[in-house]
A and B are shown apart, each in its own frame.
Chain A
Amino acid sequence: MNMLFLRKIGKTKMAESKFANLDFSLSLFDAMQKDNLSYIYRGIFNQQITDSILALTETNLQTEEQSSKMKKRVYAIMVEGLQNVTRHQNEKKIIDEDNLGLFVIKRTEERYYITTGNPTEKTSIPVISKLIKKINSLDKDELKVYYKQVLNEGELSNKGGAGLGLIDMARKSGNKLSYRFLDIDDVNTYFYLHTIPSLSNDENEFKKIAKNSLDNIVEIHNTLNKEDIRLIYNGILNQESLMGLLHTIEGHMSDIPDMKNKMFYIVLEMLQNIVKHGNNPTNHEGGNPGIFFISQKNGEYLLNTGNYISIEKVDALNEKMEYVNSLTDIELQDYYASSLMDFKINDEKKTGLGIIDLRIKSTNKLSYYFKPINNKYQFFALQIKL
């Protein structure tokens, strides 16, 4: 039944043939239905990126009813984790694509998962392992004592605080730290640090969860490396969260100014489209659920969004997309101008300029598909190549 429906829709409403990473987009969409929030950044870390990640997560933390104690813990762990990645990415002079820093926060109904990743030299494996094993062997009070001891002795390198950071993360998480080293080459290794903040302490349950969730992160990381994906956001989109994402993009693109402007415009319109025209079949308030991801291939950027849309709006949107794609450059300019100067419809939702603008600014045809969900909603995915 479902398949039949899909095929029927497929003939008329899918323009997916040119949609790159289609499988990935669909798998992300599946994940979107399961997780409440996930945010992944893979790249160079700097102050602006760190700030924007924190701000974005804070927005999301605010809109969710979690205990304020948990919020504070998540935030504190993120701060430490982001500092660690930023500090250690500088160790290697040459950063190649597979060795970029990684930050992942994921939230399901039950808990948060915070993961950082960075390359480091194999010689540091024993030091880090020993330290984490020691931290994990201590209880809450012992950790406090150990923290003070390390602080006083200042025993760790002047790069410093790495040890303190780890102890602090363990204290804030109320849980053990999980970690893994994966070989990069003879000299280098990739270090994952995985934290699951908890208010209760169930060690046995935690061990199992942590192993599985870290496996899952490593698997995702492999996909990110393979598809060269730099950023994924899956969560509630509203004006605040989209401003946070734009801030990250500005940080990420700061060394390519002409590309930065274009990407800013395009991402802004794509995300504001979701905020204004998307629909929300979930019971999470404060915006519309959506996904956004950026991949980079052969010097090209692919900007992707996905969101729910009411079934009754599908035909009109599909028609508009087809129409905009069919126009020549000159026709597009005329269409933009006439929509711009049409003040008869004084309804913010119907200006209709967004899609035309996206098509003009990207200078490429827009790729998109609709995927049926149920009798009320479809999933609409849009991809823009830069």
Chain B
Amino acid sequence: MDILKIEKTSDTPNVTLDSTNNLFEFSYRSLPENAIDFYNPILDWIEEYSKNPNNETVVDFKLEYFNTASAKQIAKVLLKLLEISKKAKVKINWYYDKNDTDMLASGQRYSKLINLEFEFIEI
């Protein structure tokens, strides 16, 4: 399967979705004005990947900030991963800055709403 790699800009994150090397990561910031457009190719990739996922998928969320428009798209990403978790192991590593309790709270909210395994990692 093709690797999806998106380089960060001042308002969008680094995204790596690489099934061959089993690397799945979102980092930096997600603040785009139009979050739907940004996340559509990501959702399409995960949809495709879900047809034949790896035995174990660990997704690292290392975001510094995201806006509410992205929050909704991230929820969609997690729901797609939830589908995968029905046939393979899926784990979310949710990183947060120790000064940023809002980022921790956001992760905890997702973990309550979406039945995936979450680990919260302070950096």
Contact = CB atoms under 8 A, between A and B. Distances in A.
A353 B68 contact: yes
A265 B71 CA distance: 12
Interface residues of A, number: 27
Interface stretch (B28-36, B44-52, B115-123): B28-36
B97 interface: yes
Given A257-B99, A351-B68, A276 B75 contact: no
Contacts of A262: 102
A272 B33 contact: yes
10 contacts: A257-B97, A258-B100, A260-B99, A261-B97, A265-B102, A340-B71, A341-B75, A341-B113, A348-B35, A348-B36
A269 B67 contact: yes
A351 B102 CA distance: 20
Contacts of B20: none
B23 interface: no
Contacts of B103: 261
Interface residues of B, number: 25
Contacts of B102: 261-262, 265, 361
A243 B11 contact: yes
Interface of B: 10-11, 31-36, 65, 67-69, 71-72, 75-76, 97, 99-103, 109, 112-113
Interface string A262-285: 101100110010011000000000
Interface majority SS on B: helix, strand, loop or mixed?
A: helix
Contacts of A348: 34-36, 69
A357 B76 contact: no
Contacts of B11: 239, 243
A239 B33 contact: yes
Interface string A295-325: 0000000000000000000000000000000
A258 B69 CA distance: 23
A351 to B, nearest CB: 5
B34 A353 contact: no
Contacts of B31: 243, 268, 272
Interface in A34-89: none
Contact of B33 (A257, A275, A346, A357): A275
Smallest CB-CB A-B distances: 8 pairs: A353-B68, A258-B99, A257-B99, A261-B100, A239-B33, A357-B68, A354-B68, A351-B72
B13 to A, nearest CB: 14
A354 B33 CA distance: 12
